[in-house]
Amino acid sequence: MADKSRVSKKIADFNSYIRNTDDYNAVVTPGGTANYQRLGMSDAEFNQWHGFRTQWDTLYSKYSDKKESRTTAIKDKLRALMKDFEVFARNILNEIAGIRTSTIDDLRVYHIKAKDLRDTEPSPIHSTDPPVVALKGLGGGIMDVHFRKTADQTRPSMLPNYVGELRYVIDAVLPDDPDAIPSKTTVVSSKAHFKLNLGLPNIGKRLHAYARWTHKHDSQFSSGWALVMDAVIN
């Protein structure tokens, strides 16, 4: 289990945490990569993290003025912002804890305990095996799709830091190159079990597909393509 105390609960401590982590995210390493990129954060996540810090700085400056503007309303807004940030940062911190290349400095800045590196399933740092995918027609033009890791016998499962990608054709020859399949018949899902609505006009036709694990932040870590068994749309 991840340590819920990573994000400080006291206002003064949180002030230090949000400032230190936001500054650390933006530090560029000698290799020319910012820390947030090295640790797998997207640009959107980096910008949202900084946005929380900007909101915090505005409110905290009022809170710091004990005589004039430290009101109950300001305290309530600070605590609400702390709660929203904790929800936002939870999965990001779990992913950082699971990266094998995280350094001692990373753990210290983000308040990640060393034991979390053993408790969190790490994200592969090299390309991984393709997923095992099962397709089943549910009726009404709906196809049930299950992605799973090869180590899991039956239940759907995802890899940390990955999404499932399915590229398909209907009643057509599957091309040798998955990249030849148009984007309109490409599905990317963060869920291992999802439903694909292929439409009533396609009932009775056959679906043929490729599938792979696609890394959220670095395509070089995506898996190879698996050839998925075809299925009848019913």
CATH entry, 132-232, from 3.40.50.2300, 3.40.50.720, 2.60.120.260, 2.60.40.10: 2.60.40.10
Residue 155: the pLDDT is 79
Average pLDDT, stretch 111-127?
55
Confidence check: pLDDT of 117 > 50:
no
Report the mean per-residue pLDDT for the chain: 86
Angle at 20 between CA 66 and CA 8, to 5 degrees: 65
Residue 121: the pLDDT is 47
Residue 49: the pLDDT is 97
SS3 content of the chain, % helix, strand, coil (to 5): 40, 20, 40
Angstrom distance (rounded) from CA 161 to CA 129: 14
Confidence check: pLDDT of 14 > 70:
yes
Residue 219: the pLDDT is 73
Average pLDDT, stretch 32-46?
90
Average pLDDT, stretch 26-30?
87
- Four-CA torsion 23, 27, 33, 37, nearest 10 degrees: -20
pLDDT band at 152 (very low <50, low <70, confident <90, very high): low
Instruction: Tell me how far the alpha carbon of residue 161 is from its chain's centroid.
Output: 5
pLDDT band at 19 (very low <50, low <70, confident <90, very high): very high
User: For the segment 175-190, what is each residue's pLDDT rounded down to a tens digit?
Assistant: 999 989 988 999 998 8
Angstrom distance (rounded) from CA 70 to CA 231: 64
Residue 120: the pLDDT is 47
Instruction: Tell me how far the alpha carbon of residue 2 is from its chain's centroid.
Output: 16
Report which of residues 116 and 170 the model is more confident about. Answer: 170
Confidence check: pLDDT of 225 > 70:
yes
Residue 100: the pLDDT is 59
For every residue of 190-215, DSSP letters joined together read SSSEEEEE--GGGTT-EEEEEEEEEE
- Interacting residues of 93 by C-beta distance below 8 A, sequence separation 6+: 2, 6, 7, 110, 112
Confidence check: pLDDT of 87 > 70:
yes
Angstrom distance (rounded) from CA 94 to CA 131: 23
* pTM of this structure: 0.50
Report which of residues 68 and 49 the model is more confident about. Answer: 49
**Would you kindly state where each structural domain of the chain is located, as residue ranges?**
11-119, 132-232
Q: Which amino acid, one-letter code, is at 17?
A: Y
Angstrom distance (rounded) from CA 110 to CA 34: 15
